[in-house]
Structure 1
Amino acid sequence: MATAAPPASTHWRAAWLMLGSTVLFGMMAVVIRLASASLHTFEIAFFRNFFGLAVALPLLLRHRPGLLRTSQFPRYLFRCMIGIASMLAGFWAIGHLPLAQAVSLSYSTPLFVTIAAAALLGEQVRARRWIAVALGFAGVLLIVRPGSTDFSMGTLVALLAALLSSIVAIQIKQLSATEPADRIVLWTTLLWVPMSLVPALGVWTWPQGITWLWVVAAGLFGTGGHMLWTRALKLGEVSALTPISFMQLPIVGAMGWLLFDETFDRWNLAGALVILGANAYIAHREATLARRAASGAASSAAKPGE
């Protein structure tokens, strides 16, 4: 018997949750940039994690300390080490590149995830998705433009953040097969605080004045965005929700223009559109294949007379 489709209200709720997460992630990028005027981005990463932990700790009240019981601690440790390296590189890019350019390059993460899934998980990636990946990297080249006068080594740092983020995504996919989502969130946040403190101590200066507001907001926006994002994906399909996440780009582009007098040139815009289009197609294909696999499994499980 076919499974009933989710009601329209569920789709709308998922869409609003994804839009909320997109706004929060965009605002996190803005406050990181504001804080970077007086603080090193390594310190901002620490405060983002420290104040983000305050948002995540209520999970312990809901599930009790037993939530932390796991046999996968070495995997959490590895995942968080890679995640911190990605965060430090990504925050550095936000602090030193035009906001829209840094965010555009962060959208290359799904391209790297497709490659990593094939290399590390043995997932079968067919020709159409490989073509989408290739087109996505063509968009990256439009933004980076190696050899041109506009080329900056900072763009390579942004790409490093995206590459490391793709490895984190693979680790989360493996962990989520046996670990509940709230345990992953809590262990990640708990480990990120001391891990991000180590590099922050090397450049430490105490925040002054309004900078405290920016670093607290980074923690609230970042953790809040992740919570809304995970709930949106639980309710809706990735292929339908991914285009909504692209709204982060006009948000940070507008804020970069208003607050930092930044412009988003035609090369960055063209590259961003190519990357976003490639990501939308990859998300659509993955959702289609997942539905086919689920339908095939349901058909094989349904036996006559049962």
Structure 2
Amino acid sequence: MQSIAPTQENSVTKALLCLMTSAFLFSIMGVCIRFASHTVDNATIVFFRNAVGLFIFIPMLLKQGLSFVKTNKLWMHTWRSLVGLTAMYGFFYAIANLKLSNAMVFSYSSPIFIPLIAWLFLKERITKSMIFAAAIGLVGVLFVAKPDQGMFNALSFIGLGACFLSAMAFVTVRALTNTEPPERIVFYFCIFGTIISAIPMYWHWRVFTEGELCLLIAAGILANISQLFMSYAYSLAPAGQIGPMNYIAIVFAGIWGFIFWHELPDTFSIIGILIIIFAIVLCNPAIQKRFFS
């Protein structure tokens, strides 16, 4: 196997760790959304997820001024916001109506599409190992999701559509990181997402309880910190190379499902989780070199 420079190994390893942290925080966000969705509508949850993020960037705006928001890639930020926001509506709807682990399966199955989209739009090299890792991850996803228990219904098509749009958003983030810092990428997503999501949320506005506000604000904070880690990860390594790490969010979701909703993994789920972890191993060149050379 072709040797990989230590600096490249370190960058990919760091990227994978950042993506794992992002997935962990995102899974906790899923817990907050699941609890909030018992009494709060989907449009409002999406609005708060984006609006809360704007407050995180106020200190940066005060410190750096207009230099923080200055960009030559406004059209790419807009595109990323549109596809990402549409995916968010679908994903949050899935969280509210499916088991948390199944919803995470749909959201984090985007690595299945990432190598192809990155190859088509960014001209990134696609290798057999990337395709194989994504295929292995898909097998694990199917074991966890169990298609015969509802993957091919209306909810599932919403989830799969959100999955594909998420992949397009991730690849756009990868392209943006060539010139844009992660903080700016997340900022533009928050401001566009807040403006657009405020329109449908307007028709559902009401006075919220303290518990509802705590869940909505926590979800927004966790989501935006997760986005920062994700954006930084894709600035360190190609999207197709590190994308399968997203699968670990399904493992985290399974843990939260057990803790909060007493969801016990069956044999197929355990096998699927092991397959997903194997796919993660395959996407790390440093591990490939050590164990498969």
Distance 2:120 2:237 in 1: 28
- Aligned twin of 2:164: 163
Q: Which amino acid aligns with 2:55?
A: A
Gaps of 5+ in 2: none
- Aligned twin of 1:261: 262
Residue 4 of structure 1 deviates from its aligned partner by 8.4
Distance change >3 Å, CA 116–CA 15, structure 1 → 2: closer
Written as runs of structure 1 = structure 2, the 5 A alignment for 1:27-106 is: 27-106=28-107
Residue 238 of structure 1 deviates from its aligned partner by 9.3
Residue 38 of structure 1 deviates from its aligned partner by 0.3
Residue 156 of structure 1 deviates from its aligned partner by 2.9
SS at match of 1:210: helix
Residue 249 of structure 1 deviates from its aligned partner by 3.8
Distance 2:128 2:16 in 1: 30
Distance 2:85 2:282 in 1: 29
Q: Which amino acid aligns with 2:264?
A: T
Instruction: Answer yes or no: is the 8 Å Cα contact 1:101–1:264 preserved in 2.
Output: no
- Aligned twin of 1:128: 129
Distance 1:42 1:75 in 2: 24
SS at match of 2:112: helix
Residue 193 of structure 1 deviates from its aligned partner by 0.6
Distance 2:14 2:79 in 1: 34
Superposition TM-score, scaled by structure 2 size: 0.79
Distance change >3 Å, CA 169–CA 231, structure 1 → 2: closer
- Aligned twin of 2:188: 187
Q: Which amino acid aligns with 1:95?
A: A
Distance change >3 Å, CA 252–CA 206, structure 1 → 2: farther
Gaps of 5+ in 1: 289-306
Residue 267 of structure 1 deviates from its aligned partner by 2.9
Residue 144 of structure 1 deviates from its aligned partner by 4.3
Instruction: Answer yes or no: is the 8 Å Cα contact 2:117–2:171 preserved in 1.
Output: yes
Q: Which amino acid aligns with 1:98?
A: K
- Aligned twin of 1:294: none
Distance 1:4 1:136 in 2: 26
Written as runs of structure 1 = structure 2, the 5 A alignment for 1:268-283 is: 268-283=269-284
Distance 1:181 1:196 in 2: 22
- Aligned twin of 1:175: 176
Point out the structure with max Rg over C-alpha. Answer: 1
Distance 2:284 2:84 in 1: 22
Distance change >3 Å, CA 159–CA 239, structure 1 → 2: closer
Distance 2:17 2:275 in 1: 25
Q: How many residues align?
A: 283
- Aligned twin of 1:293: none
Distance 2:12 2:126 in 1: 28
| Cα shift readout 1:269-302 (whole Å, capped 9, x = no counterpart) | 43344344334423539x98xxxxxxxxxxxxxx
Q: Which amino acid aligns with 1:67?
A: F
Residue 237 of structure 1 deviates from its aligned partner by 11
Q: Comparing 173-182 with 199-208, which one deviates more in the overlay? A: 199-208
Instruction: Answer yes or no: is the 8 Å Cα contact 1:17–1:229 preserved in 2.
Output: yes
- Aligned twin of 1:303: none
Distance change >3 Å, CA 88–CA 273, structure 1 → 2: farther
Distance change >3 Å, CA 76–CA 21, structure 1 → 2: closer
Cα RMSD of the aligned pairs, angstroms, is 3.7
- Aligned twin of 1:212: 213
- Aligned twin of 2:112: 111
Distance change >3 Å, CA 15–CA 211, structure 1 → 2: same
User: Given the alignment of the two structures, is residue 141 of structure 1 paired with residue 142 of structure 2, yes or no?
Assistant: yes
Distance 1:267 1:124 in 2: 33
SS at match of 2:89: helix
